[in-house]
Homo-oligomer: A and B are copies of this chain.
Amino acid sequence: MNQRIEPRTLQGFRDYLPETMMPREKLMETARRVYRSFGFCPIDTPALELLEVLAGKGSEETDRQIYRFEDNGGRQVGLRFDLTVPLARFAAAHANELGLPFKRYHIAPVWRGERPQAGRFREFMQCDFDTIGTESVAADIETALVIHELLTAINVGEFSLRINNRQVLNGLLDKLHLADKSVPILRALDKLEKVGGDEVAKEMAQTAAVSDQQAREILQFATIKGPADSVLSQLDQLLATNPLGQAGVTRLAELVAALKSCGISETRFQLDVSIARGLDYYTGVIFETVLRDLPSIGSICSGGRYDNLAELYTKQHLPGIGASLGLDRLLAAMETLKLIEPIRAAAPVLVTYFDKQALHDYLKIAAILRAAGIGAEVYPDPKKLGAQLKYADQRGFRAAIIAGSDERARGTCQVKDLRAQTSVEVSWRESGEALIEAVRPTLSAPSQ
């Protein structure tokens, strides 16, 4: 070679090695299984879209972050920065074929040219599900149930689903004749924990001409806390005279009643009037999900109800609701919480290549195990046994199969449990039963 090229990735991008990719694939499999079990169907859309489809659909910030260029045909194109804009374009394009209600999930990478920082990447996997074409509270309830089932199935420890409804806050502002000032008011409220009520009231007075009396009600509202029923009755009182607010309280009450009826523990969900995700976009219920053991990482599954998904592309009115699992954020949390086993072996059993003449036997032993649903890798070279067992240890194989000339003469092999460091000799040539039975116990999770 004249000159070697440094094998580096672009700044803000990363490789996934097997020990990270295996749990990542497992998360995606779990998400697919849970989404499907509720009737959500997979779709896929192109990574590249016409820039006119992408730009101006998110915020100014996302616009700036779009990877954009001119393709060979002179078209302005961009890499998708989320899965919601592609869903809107998709729904508008295929509404007639799809029929309504339409429930889809989409697990795919997105790209954002963000300033790289710790734990933030320019390419990451999104894992969205949405129900389009219904305003029913049944879809609100189902979305909460899917999030609950997903986080339970992922086995990431205790979590709390925080629930709010935009109509509740809008109702309060409506009642106070401040409906047109929600942006500065929310901006001020956002600082409540940091600076306290007096400072927030001062800022609201300056930026939104909020009176003392109005500020008192807003602050009373923003600090409502407690069990769901208590929050509901406080909201009910505060919004008694406002139809919009009442509608929001009713929706929340229906949601809470259904979650309880489905046996979801109140330790797993809470009404939280302080969450205000996606201000300009969400119009009804809003969800965030926080890990009990790692709240600082932020919400790992968020979403809410929106009024009209695809108004930029079609005159068809498409209300809906959806949420997104932050797959790579969740994976980072699981790494921090040490919930990921350091395994780099995709198959649990290594069949060692001991005797150069015996390759066919090793292939047959592996085939017996695979036919029983047990993954088995045959070491490719007849190297020293020590080197092969070291390979098995380093990667986290559960069992090694060893068959030298003695065992082969007897039609047997050794099954070595690599954690217990015990071996048992079993016959395999006549029937694979004994081999399979000897391997199975080595596959279970560590007992401590």
Contact = CB atoms under 8 A, between A and B. Distances in A.
A7 B93 CA distance: 5
Given A261-B363, A262-B364, A136 B381 contact: yes
B16 A45 contact: yes
A15 B39 contact: no
A391 B133 CA distance: 13
A379 to B, nearest CB: 8
Given A45-B15, A49-B9, A258-B363, A71 B113 contact: yes
Interface string A310-332: 11111100000000000000000
A50 B12 CA distance: 12
A194 interface: no
A413 interface: no
A398 interface: no
Contact of A13 (B5, B46, B101): B46
A167 interface: no
A429 interface: no
Contact of A43 (B18, B46, B99, B111): B18
A434 interface: no
A109 B123 CA distance: 14
Contact of A262 (B88, B111, B363): B363
A385 to B, nearest CB: 16
Interface string A10-35: 11011111100110110000001001
A394 interface: yes
A47 B47 contact: yes
A384 interface: no
A139 interface: yes
Interface in A102-147: 103-104, 109, 111, 113, 123, 131, 134, 136, 138-139, 141-142, 145
Contacts of A406: none
Contacts of A37: 347, 370, 375-376
Interface residues of A, number: 105
Contacts of A338: none
B375 A313 contact: no
Interface string A62-77: 0000010111110101
A344 B41 contact: yes
A49 to B, nearest CB: 7
Given A15-B45, A36-B347, A111-B48, A5 B313 contact: yes
Contacts of A149: 370
A218 interface: no
A359 interface: yes
Contact of A261 (B40, B42, B360): B360
A353 interface: yes
A92 interface: yes
B18 A346 contact: no
A22 B46 contact: no
Given A7-B313, A10-B71, A257-B360, 13 more contacts: A4-B314, A9-B93, A10-B48, A10-B50, A14-B46, A15-B46, A15-B93, A18-B43, A36-B346, A41-B344, A41-B346, A99-B395, A138-B380
29 contacts: A5-B52, A5-B312, A7-B53, A7-B310, A8-B53, A9-B49, A9-B93, A10-B49, A10-B50, A10-B71, A10-B75, A15-B45, A15-B90, A16-B43, A17-B43, A17-B94, A17-B98, A18-B41, A25-B32, A25-B42, A36-B346, A36-B347, A38-B347, A39-B375, A134-B380, A138-B353, A138-B379, A138-B381, A258-B363
